[in-house]
Amino acid sequence: MSNNGKRVAWVTGGGSGIGEAAAAALAADGWIVVVSGRRKDALEHVVANITKNGGKAEAIALDVSDKDSVNKAADQIVAKHARIDLLVNSAGINVPKRSWADMELSGWDKLVEINLNGVLYCMHAVLPTMRKQKDGCIINVASWAGRHVSKMPGPAYTTTKHAVQALTHSFNMDECVNGLRACCFSPGEVATPILKLRPVVPSEAEQAKMLQPEDCGRTIAFVASMPPRVCMNEILISPTHNRGFIQTPHNRD
C-alpha cells in the first residue's frame, strides 16, 4: 500500500469521535491523512493536533450526502497526492426521534442519505484510483446494530448499518480481483458525541465502561496496516461491560 513509502488515507467524519481517533492513529503510523466532515472548525482542530504531534494531515470540508462534493474531494486528493490508499467511511448520524412511535420520514431520509448513500458515494469516488493502483483498502464504520437488531438504535439506524455490512461484502465479491479489499467495522457502544442524541443520554460512569474512540482508532489503524494480501472482511467488537448482555433499556446507538 505504498508508493515510495507514501500512504494516503481519506477519513470522513474526521472531525470528532471514531473518525478523529482513526485519523490520529493513522497519522501516528506515518499516513498522510485527509479528514473530511461538515464542520470546518472541527477539522482544523484535528489537523492542528495531528501536526503538533509530528503527523501529516489536511482537511476538506464535505457533506458526504452530496455526491458532487464527494467526487470533487476525491479528485482534489488525487490531484495533490496522485493516490488514495485508504478510505475510512466514518461519517454517520442518528436522530432523537428513532422509534416507530415517533419517527419522522425526514429523519429516515437524513440517515439514509448520510449513513448509507454517503458511504456508497465515497466508495464509488475512490474506486477508479484504487483500481488503477490495483491496491486499496476501504474501512466502513458500521455498528453492532448492523449485526444484531435491537430496539434502542431505531429502525433507520439499524437498517442503514445492516446495509453498510451488505455493501462492504458485495464490494469484496467484485473488487477482490482488482486487488481491493473492504472491512466492515462494527463497534458496540462507543463514548462519542453521537450519544447526546439518544432519548436517554448515558451517564459519565456508563460511558467510561464503553469502548473509547481511541480503541476504535487503533483497530482501524491495525486493519490498514495489514499487507495487501489480507482482507479483514468484518470486525465486531464491543465493550467487555456490554449493556446489551446485561440490560435491555437504553442500549445502543
- Contact (Cβ atoms closer than 8 angstroms) between residue 132 and residue 124: no
Give the active site residue among 10, 31, 157, 185: 157
Is 157 annotated in the active site?
yes
**Closest C-alpha to 88, from 222, 245, 252:** 222
Helix 118-133 / helix 155-175 crossing angle, nearest 10 deg: 10
Cell 429502525 belongs to 155
Helices (DSSP H) in the chain: which residue ranges?
17-28, 40-52, 67-81, 105-111, 118-133, 155-175, 204-208, 213-225, 243-246
- Contact (Cβ atoms closer than 8 angstroms) between residue 156 and residue 111: yes
Residues annotated catalytic, as ranges: 157
